[in-house]
Structure 1
């Protein structure tokens, strides 16, 4: 029988340490919330891309924006580029997995839109290419990353970096950030 590397208390302590470090990123996280709000209220959309657990985060965040978070309010346009199974299988088959998201940004992104690029390593090639394409289309790019931000940090307008190498802790911090962004969107207008 294998043993667990960390006691659950150790996991909680690691989580709390990472979450407490978010206060150092508060100005950038706040600026990103204002950008998301201004993008949405001006009639533009949010596109999101990520791999694995970050893909699930894209879907989660998009659903909160389109449907609602806590308060009833108008629906906002947010598209997780991680959900169309035909695109997700056809593009890598016909072209390359590296350009999977950039192709969708090319098709769906427009000037004034915002791309939220999520990569726990900051080095996912398909996320970097999507960010480059978004910038070419005069979109603003918010990056949610971990570790040292990898190569992605230099390709985005707002690099929000979680200083951890543990994927689970990075994703937990990302969720807290985008849930707070949802709360800020809820405050814009509601019934």
Structure 2
């Protein structure tokens, strides 16, 4: 078993090494930081969405903005859209699970807000539909996916597609990229 642990750790390192040399992705991450700082300067909000482990990552990163990352600072407006279980179950039951995020974006997001969606495949219908609704509202979209980008690739303003097809390795890199995003937004916005 120890050898298998080592193989999986090595696989994780290999994906991170691929990230390290992916200039296009790093350029996109830099643009994402700029977009979020600009949104916050204009008193806009961040919304996050995902499913399963990606929902956990979305909630984690929303908490980094509303709480703190490194600095003792004011809270920044960020919300993980799946945290209201009464809403989630009502819309999932009365409409469709595919509509849970799009419906909320249509009702609450405003032009200039930012929607950040997580899907390792890039094909989660509810995330794709949320991004389509965001486009209609003038909301900037940032997608965290795996290598192909999936269906999200066509509806995402800024795509951070981790160069892997292995869900756990993708999720590990999503949280790494998300932490970098939080750190540099915090540094830029609060000085």
Q: Classify the TM-score, shorter chain.
A: over 0.9
Distance 1:54 1:119 in 2: 6
Q: Write out per-residue CA displacement over residues 79-126 of structure 1, whole angstroms, 9 at most, x where no aligned residue.
A: 100110101100011000011100011111100000001100000000
Match of 1:15 among 5, 12, 17: 12
**Greater alpha carbon shift after TM alignment, 18-27 vs 136-145:** 18-27
Structure-2 residue corresponding to 1:137: 137
TM-score, L = length of structure 2: 0.94
Following the alignment from structure 1 to structure 2, what is the Cα–Cα distance between the partners of residues 163 and 147? 4
How many angstroms does 1:185 deviate by?
2.0
C-alpha contact 2:113 2:140 (8 A) present in aligned 1: yes
Residue 42 of structure 1 pairs with residue 39 of structure 2: no
Which residue pairs with 1:74 in the alignment? Answer: 74
Contact 1:19 1:173 in 2 (8 A): yes
Q: Aligned residue for 1:87?
A: 87
Residue 190 (structure 1) shift: 4.3
Structure 2: gaps of 5 or more residues: none
- In the aligned structure 2, how far is the partner of 1:39 from the partner of 1:10? 41
CA contact (8 A) 1:106 1:134 kept: yes
**Secondary structure, aligned partner of 1:188:** helix
TM-score by length of 1: 0.94
Question: How many angstroms apart in 2 are the aligned matches of 1:18 and 1:35?
Answer: 26
User: Greater share of helix residues, 1 or 2?
Assistant: 2
In structure 1, C-alpha distance between the alignment counterparts of 2:183 and 2:8, rounded to whole Å = 27
CA distance in 1, matches of 2:99, 2:49: 12
> Residues of 2 paired with 1:189 and 1:174: CA distance?
22
Deviations 1:35-54 (A, max 9, x none): 11111121000011100001
CA offsets 1:43-80 (integer angstroms, 9 cap, x no match): 00001110000101111011110110111122110010
Matches within 5 A, 1:175-190: 175-190=175-190
Equivalent pair of 2:19/2:163 in contact (CA under 8 Å):
no
Runs of 4 or more above 2 Å deviation: 188-191
- Aligned-partner Cα distance in 1 for 2:161–2:172: 13
Q: Is the 8 A contact 1:74 1:189 kept in 2?
A: no
